[in-house]
Amino acid sequence: MKISTRGRYAVRVLIDLAEHRSGNFVPLKEIAERQDISLKYLESIMTELSKNGLVEGVHGKGGGYRMSNAPEKCTLGMILRVTEGDLAPVACLSDGAQPCGRAYECRTLPVWKKFYEMVNNYFDSITLADLIKTPDNYNYVI
């Protein structure tokens, strides 16, 4: 499994919004400059995050984006599922996949199921609050 640039940037942007949370809307241009992300690319990411309820956006003067929920309520799993889609390691475990006719005899399916469970549990256990309060002895790299 590989997390795309889109997924990594979405996490960075939401960390930025969490760190600059004041109740006000943060201009997208400021986020783009701080995170060194193309404004055009960032616009497409924010549209997706907004449609999925992770951020709220306002256009015009005084506009920008802010988080819809507290950083403690937003997990990496939520963000990655919005930007990456399903985190399933194999097609047969993806949301909406047709049942595999070989599942009953597949010797590797239990491995993929366990891996899928571990990935989801791991990403769902890390909140944006965790990432903005990272202890000095442990660094998350995004």
d(CA 55, CA 87): 21
Tens of pLDDT, residue by residue over 113-128, are 999 999 999 999 999 9
Closest listed residue to residue 124, CA positions, set 52, 54, 74: 74
Tens of pLDDT, residue by residue over 56-91, are 999 888 889 999 999 999 999 999 999 998 899 988
Question: What is the model's pTM?
Answer: 0.86
Mean pLDDT for all residues in the chain: 91
